[in-house]
Copies of this chain bind each other. A is one copy, B any other.
């Protein structure tokens, strides 16, 4: 309880929360989603060395802040999942699967091509790895923008969120396979097809198996929990369920946010009615302040880790620009995957664009890969990937706001006086 590191942590939290809201305010005044302001606040805090101040450099590597920001991503996805139901997801299921698959193939091919074209001297493994890095989708930003726009209940939102889950699984499988090929090449060993099959299998089993199990187990678990005589049981068991599924996803090598979203998805109002019927607040209501505390930490920390110095390296800007174009163009293939009529295909393609933290993690993994003593991803490529991640992430909120606004001129968001995000608007039916 007493001690400097903890005092430093909570002072950092105070700074992060206050600047997040000030940044959100500034961007809201400019008609942009507040989340972009939270990212911007983070970029500012993380690059004060440009102004000669290095007192906040320790934020970048603070383990406790990293943990809290990861919990923020988990709770954000849990919250988004809570707002959807399995039935709604199955309705858009085929579209989500097609969207995700095209959104993986498109960027993979384009990324490989850009690598082969602009980095002819690099090995084929570097080109393949660049393709793999472009496949990721970070749904955190999109989910938040959809919330800010009051569109998280729309069919397009469900397609995007469903596709992001499938995409995350597919992207991780590709990453596992590509890193496997590179590791094997480094040892001069042919890659085992069995190992690839195991990765693919466990991802599939987790996604469908855990969903099926959860649908069966959830109602019984929460019916039992509602009989416990203690305060805060609904919140504790709701969070425990979310953390358990997210943790299991992490243990088998998937992204924990996939599990958190799945947990929110299978938790229906029906399961928790025992609590709500006796006058307690609903789980969505209870999770909201917790996500509202932790999610801004996630967005600010993403900004803090964004090193603007990368932009100053020679040749990086050109390569990064081409990589970004490939990343954006590749994901627009997603629009073709939407099955049925009356959907806003452009918004789906745009919604799938941000790479966010998933792309950064891919790039980080790339830094550790070596074939025959040569690094697969050097500092120049890494910087370009970081810039691509930032650009795709920064482009998405305004683009999504524009594309949704384009189709709904009667929406409340178009009313000239109203600023989005000030108060969360009710979803349009």
Which of A's residues lie within 8 Å of B, judged by CB?
Answer: 1-4, 6-11, 13-15, 17-18, 20-22, 24-25, 28-29, 34, 37, 63-64, 67-68, 70-71, 73-74, 148, 172, 225, 228-233, 235-237, 239-244, 246-251, 253-257, 279, 281, 286-290, 292-293, 296, 357-358, 361, 419, 421-424
What are the 5 tightest A-B residue pairs by CB atom distance, in nearest-first order? Answer: A7-B250, A24-B230, A11-B247, A14-B243, A10-B243
User: Could you tell me if B11 and A244 are in contact, using CB atoms closer than 8 angstroms?
Assistant: yes
| Residues of chain B within 8 A of A18, CB atoms compared | 236-237, 240
Nearest-Cβ distance from residue A114 to partner chain B, whole angstroms = 25
| Residues of chain B within 8 A of A10, CB atoms compared | 71, 74, 243-244, 246-247, 250, 256
Number of copies: 2
Query: Contacts A235-B289, A419-B229 given: A4-B251 contact, CB under 8 Å?
Result: yes
Instruction: Give me 21 A-to-B residue pairs in the complex whose CB atoms sit less than 8 angstroms apart, sorted by A's number.
Output: A2-B250, A4-B250, A6-B67, A7-B249, A7-B251, A8-B247, A10-B246, A10-B247, A13-B243, A14-B242, A25-B229, A25-B233, A34-B230, A67-B67, A229-B419, A229-B422, A230-B421, A232-B292, A236-B293, A289-B289, A289-B290
CA distance A235 to B228 in the complex (A): 30
CA distance A416 to B288 in the complex (A): 36
Query: Contacts A1-B361, A289-B286 given: A13-B239 contact, CB under 8 Å?
Result: yes
| Residues of chain B within 8 A of A34, CB atoms compared | 230-231
| Residues of chain B within 8 A of A286, CB atoms compared | 289, 292
| Residues of chain B within 8 A of A4, CB atoms compared | 250-251
User: Could you tell me if A225 and B2 are in contact, using CB atoms closer than 8 angstroms?
Assistant: no
User: Could you tell me if A1 and B231 are in contact, using CB atoms closer than 8 angstroms?
Assistant: no
Extra A-B contacts (20), CB below 8 Å, given A34-B230, A229-B419: A1-B357, A1-B358, A2-B361, A7-B246, A7-B256, A10-B71, A11-B243, A11-B244, A11-B248, A11-B251, A20-B236, A21-B233, A21-B237, A24-B228, A25-B233, A28-B229, A28-B230, A63-B63, A64-B64, A230-B421
| Residues of chain B within 8 A of A279, CB atoms compared | 423
User: Could you tell me if A229 and B63 are in contact, using CB atoms closer than 8 angstroms?
Assistant: no
